[in-house]
Amino acid sequence: MDIRIENLTKRFGPQKAVDNISFDVKTGEIVGFLGPNGAGKSTTMKMITGYLGIGEGDIFIGDKSVRQHGDELKRHIGYLPENNPLYTDMPVIDYLIFSAELQGLDKAKIPGRVREMIEVTGLKAEKHKKIGELSKGYRQRVGLAQAMIHDPEILILDEPTTGLDPNQIVEIRKLIRELGQHKTVILSTHILPEVEATCDRILIINKGKIVANGTAESLRSQSSGSAVMRVVIEGGPAELVKSTIGTLPGIRQVVITDAQSGKLEVTAEPGTVLGRSLFYMCVEKGWVLTEAVPVETRLEDIFRNLTLN
């Protein structure tokens, strides 16, 4: 099922938590929701799941409006809320059965489905413990298990990997990737490498507005707007090398980082084939190009650029 969000706005008093945002998520796509605290990520997710009423605009899930068919659409959505609130006085297995029953699962299918979820999330040894006795990571697994128990077409996960140890994070990411192949997944996170590892597309939201929407690569090229390369050229004085590079086409800036060993940082117009022209220049002058590393703009920098001003 596709999700289509149109001009969504939500006010809390005078403050706009979500300000006129629109985007689509297709089936089989995993979208990562990034943004600083209070940017409106959770509010948007709560509106998709039908917990919060829609202010203005509308959300369509498989062509049905959440405004009109909210209650009916709930059974197609699996939701893991922020902070993962669970009934701490219930044993894990009872809670999963309860969730399955509430989602209207066929009575005959429930035991098999519960067993499968316990298997997938690695809760086998803990299944008879009360949720209150579990550590944070295990509770998070229970939260994921209850979200997926009815095999929903849409998964909304608010910070799914908080509290998990590195091994579990890898497992859960793998699980989300697998699920994402035939489901529609929206997940929010603060962990930037996580979005790169799991998501097909990134949405960065700041102060209720979408400030970036695209794959990690497209965001990089948009945000930096230039190609940067770190090079080491031996055989000539650094100053001369610098001025020679400056004469090449498309060069914006050359900075000497270490004159002794001939380290330079070259910034060029996007789309310039920098490596090739540097190589021919060195051949012509009789210099030696010992190192040429393209510098990728880190996602952290993009995030900071987009959300700090």
Partner 1 sequence: MHAVWVIAKRELNSFFDSLVAYILLVLFLGFSGFFTWLYGADVFLSGQASLQSFFSTAYWSLFFFTPALTMRLLAEENKTGTIELLLTKAVTDRQVVLGKFLAAVLLVAIALAFTLPYAFTISAIGPLDWGATLCGYLGLLLMSAAYIGIGLYASSITSNQVVAFLITLFIGLFFHVLFDALAANFTGLAGLVFSTLSMSEHFDSLSRGVVDTRDLIYFLSLIVAGLLLAEFTLTKRNLD
**Where along the sequence are the contacts to partner 1 (CB under 8 A)?**
10-11, 46, 49-53, 55, 71, 74-75, 77, 79, 81, 83, 85-90, 94, 98-99, 101-104, 146
Nearer to partner 1, 37 or 309 (CB): 37
Q: How far is the CB of 256 from partner 1 (least distance, A)?
A: 56
Q: How far is the CB of 278 from partner 1 (least distance, A)?
A: 56
Nearer to partner 1, 99 or 189 (CB): 99
In the chain the first and final C-alpha atoms are separated, in Å, by 36
Nearer to partner 1, 8 or 299 (CB): 8
* Residue 217 contacts residue 223 (beta carbons within 8 Å): no
Report the C-alpha gap between 21 and 73 in whole angstroms: 21
Report the C-alpha gap between 96 and 235 in whole angstroms: 69
Q: How far is the CB of 65 from partner 1 (least distance, A)?
A: 14
Q: How far is the CB of 182 from partner 1 (least distance, A)?
A: 21
Nearer to partner 1, 10 or 173 (CB): 10
Structure tokens at 176: 């989300």
Specify the amino acid at residue 218.
S
Contacts of 91 (CB under 8 A, 6+ apart): 127, 128, 129, 130, 131
Nearer to partner 1, 87 or 279 (CB): 87
Q: How far is the CB of 94 from partner 1 (least distance, A)?
A: 8
Report the C-alpha gap between 35 and 208 in whole angstroms: 9
Place of tokens 């209207």: 104
Nearer to partner 1, 110 or 306 (CB): 110
Nearer to partner 1, 9 or 267 (CB): 9
Question: DSSP states of 39-98 as a string?
Answer: SSHHHHHHHHHTSSPP-EEEEEETTEEHHHHHHHHGGGEEEE-TT----TTSBHHHHHHH
Q: How far is the CB of 112 from partner 1 (least distance, A)?
A: 18
In Å, the largest CA–CA distance within the chain is 79
Q: How far is the CB of 124 from partner 1 (least distance, A)?
A: 23
Angle CA 217–221–226, to nearest 5 = 145
Place of tokens 């699996």: 78
